[in-house]
Amino acid sequence: MEDGEVRRTTTASGHPAWLVGGHGTVRRLLTDPRLDVYHEDPAGAPRCFDSGPFGPPQQWTPDAADEHLRMRRLVGRSMSARRLAGLRPRIQAIVDGLLDDLAEAPRPADFHRLVSAPLPPLVLRELFGVPDDEGADFDGWLHDAISDHDPGRMVRGITGLSAYVGTLLQRRAAEPRGDVPTDLAAAHAEDPESWTMERLTRVACLVLLAGVGPTMDAIDDSLVRLSADADQWAAVREDPELVENAVEELLRLSAITAAGTRTPFGIPRWAATDVTVDGTTIRKGELVLLDIHAASHDERHIAEPDRLDVRRSGKSTLIFGAGAHYCLGAPLARMQLSILFHTLVGRFPAMRPAVPPEEIRPRDPRLAVGSTGLPVAW
Ligand code: HEM
C-alpha cells in the first residue's frame, strides 16, 4: 500500500474502517492527536474485534487524555532506565534457568512452552516483586487474561489478576519495596483522591497485560525467523555485537497482523473530529486501522522488506507504535529479547525449527503472530 493511500475496508467483525499501510503515513497518523483511542459511544463504534486490545474504543470524557498522560508519567517513572538496569542480572538468571530446562528436554523440544511463554511472566514477577510461592497463580492469571479470543477465560484471568494486584498494592502501602506496586501505592498516599486504589489496580493490570502477550509473540516469531535462517543465525553467533541490530530487525518483521493475508488489520484509532488525510476525509467517529505490519514491509521505506538481515541498522520498527500511546515497555521488551538471543546463539549454536512454518499455529487464531507450540531441534 502506497504512502498517503487511505483505503475503505471492512473489518473481521463486519464494521467499516479506513486502512492505512504506507510507513510514512502510518507513523504520521500514530502521532496525530485528531486520531485517538476514545469514542463518544464505544458500544456503537466500529471495531476490529469484539474484545481485547483490538476491540472497542475507550469511553471519551473531557479528562480522558489528561488522565492518560498522568498514567503514562507514573508508569514511565516506575519503569525507569535505572530500574530496568537493575533488573538485567535477574533477567539473565531467568533466561539461563529456562535455557537449562530447554537443554535437558527431549528433542524436539517445545520452545514456546519452555521459553517464550514463561519468560515474560517471570520478568513481570521481578518488576512487581511477586513472591515465589505466589508466582504460579500470577502466571496462570496472566496467561488466562491475555486469551482475548476466549472471553470466559479472559474474564477469569482478569478477575484473579485484579484481586491479586489489589492485595499487592495494599501490602506495599504498608511495607514499601523497590518495585512498581510500591511506586503506585506511593502515588495513592500522595493523592488518594485522584489515584484511588481501584484506578491504580487498573493501571497495574494494564502494564501486566500489555507486557505479556506481545512479548511472548515477539519471542516466538523472532525465534522462528532467526533459527530458520542458518546464515543469519550464524552471523549473530559469530558476532554477538549484532544482537541489538538483529532484535530490531526481528521486531520489524514480527509486527502484528491478522490471520489471513486479506483480513484488514492495524492499530485502531477513531477520528475525534473530521480529518482529511491526503485528500480523503475521515468523518468524526470513524475507525482507522494503522497497519504497522504493512508499514514495516513498505519497500519505499526499507529495501527488500521481507528479507531478514540482521546487519540492517536503524530503529525503524513501528511494532511499539508511536506518539501518545507509544509502548511504555519497549525498553524492557528489547532487553528481554536481546538477553535471550545473546544467550541462545551461544548455548544452542545449531538450533533450528523442527516443523515447517505452516504447522505452527498462532496463539490467537485471529492473528498471525505468536504460537501455541514451537518444536525446535539442535
Ligand atoms: C515485543 C513486545 C511488545 C510489543 C510489540 C508492544 C507493543 C505495543 C504497542 C503497539 C502499543 C501501542 C498501542 C497503541 O498505540 O494503541 C503498546 C502500548 C503499551 N505497552 Fe507494549 N509492547 C510490548 C511489550 C510491552 C511490555 C514488556 C510492557 C510492560 C511491561 C508493555 C506495556 C505497554 C503499555 C503500558 C502500553 C500502553 C501505553 C499507553 O496507552 O500509553 N509493552 N505496546
Of 315, 305, 75, 290, the residue nearest 202 (C-alpha): 75
pLDDT of residue 50: 82
Residues 247-264 have pLDDT tens digits of 999 999 988 887 666 678
Cell of 239: 558476532
Q: Could you give the 3-state DSSP secondary structure of residue 192?
A: coil
CB-CB neighbours of 373 under 10 Å: 15
With a pLDDT cut of 90, the percent of the chain lying above it is 84
Q: What is the pLDDT of residue 195?
A: 97
Name the amino acid, one letter, at 286: E
Q: How far apart are CA 157 and CA 153, in angstroms?
A: 6
**Distance of CA 328 from the midpoint of ligand 1 (Å):** 6
User: At residue 288, what is the residue type?
Assistant: V
Give pLDDT, residue 2: 61
Per-residue pLDDT of 178-195, as tens digits, reads 999 999 999 999 999 999
What is the number of the ligand 1 atom nearest to the C-alpha of 268?
16
Mean pLDDT of 211-217: 95
Predicted confidence band of residue 3 (pLDDT cuts 50, 70, 90):
low
Give the mean pLDDT of 101-116: 98
Substitution candidate for ligand 1 out of 225, 265, 327 with most atoms within 8 A of CB: 327
> 300: CA distance to ligand 1 center in Å?
26
Q: Please name the residue whose Cα sits nearest to atom 6 of ligand 1.
A: 320
pLDDT of residue 119: 98
Query: What is residue 83's predicted lDDT score, i.e. its pLDDT?
Result: 96
Q: The dihedral of CA 67, 28, 370, 18: what is its sign?
A: positive
Q: Would you say residue 4 has pLDDT above 70? A: no
Selected residue with higher pLDDT from 359 and 4: 359
- Cα-Cα-Cα-Cα dihedral sign, residues 131, 137, 140, 141: negative
What spacing in Å lies between the alpha carbon of 72 and ligand 1's midpoint?
11
Amino acid in the structure at residue 50: D
Q: Could you tell me the distance, in angstroms and rounded to a whole number, from the CA of residue 52 to the centre of ligand 1?
A: 13
In this prediction, residue 167 carries a pLDDT of 97
Give the closest residue (by CA) to ligand 1 atom 2: 215
Q: What is the pLDDT of residues 302-319, one digit of tens each?
A: 999 999 999 987 666 899
Confidence of residue 1 (pLDDT cuts 50, 70, 90): low
How far, in Å, is the centroid of ligand 1 from the Cα of 330?
A: 7
Q: Which domains does the chain have, with CATH numbers?
A: 6-377 (1.10.630.10)
Give the model's pLDDT for residue 256. Answer: 80
Query: Atom 9, ligand 1: which residue's CA is nearest?
Result: 320
Q: How far is CA 179 from CA 127, 168, 186, 298, in A?
A: 6, 11, 11, 40
| Nearest residue (CA) to ligand 1, atom 15 | 325
Q: What is the mean pLDDT of residues 25-33?
A: 95
Residue 160 near residue 179 (C-beta atoms within 8 A) = no
Distance 187 CA to ligand 1 centre (A): 22
State whether residue 235 is helix, strand or coil: helix
Q: How far is the CA of 327 from the centre of ligand 1 (A)?
A: 4
- Sign (positive or negative) of CA dihedral 206, 364, 373, 239: negative
Please give all residues whose beta carbon lies within 6 A of any atom in ligand 1, as ranges.
37, 72, 75, 206-207, 210-211, 214-215, 218, 267, 319-321, 325, 327-329, 332-333
Ligand 1 centroid from CA 105, angstroms: 32
Ligand 1 atom at shortest distance from the alpha carbon of 215: 2
Give the three cell numbers for residue 250: 526481528
Q: Rounded to the nearest whole angstrom, what is the distance from the C-alpha of residue 378 to the centroid of ligand 1?
A: 32
Q: 8-12, 92-96, 109-113, 326-330: lowest mean pLDDT where?
A: 8-12
Cα–Cα distance for residue pair 91/119, rounded to 1 Å: 9
How far apart are alpha carbons 250 and 130 in whole angstroms?
A: 30
Residue 53 pLDDT: 78
| Atom nearest to 256 CA in ligand 1 | 5
Per-residue pLDDT at 65 exceeds 70: yes
So what's the pLDDT on residue 258? 74
pLDDT at 149: 81
Least confident of 78-82, 277-281, 373-377: 277-281
- State what percent of residues in the chain have pLDDT above 70: 97
Average pLDDT, the chain: 94
Ligand 1 atom nearest the C-alpha of 324 is: 41
What local confidence, expressed as pLDDT, does residue 335 receive?
98
**Closest residue by CA, ligand 1 atom 1:** 215
Q: Check residue 5 and give its pLDDT.
A: 82
DSSP state, residue 116: I
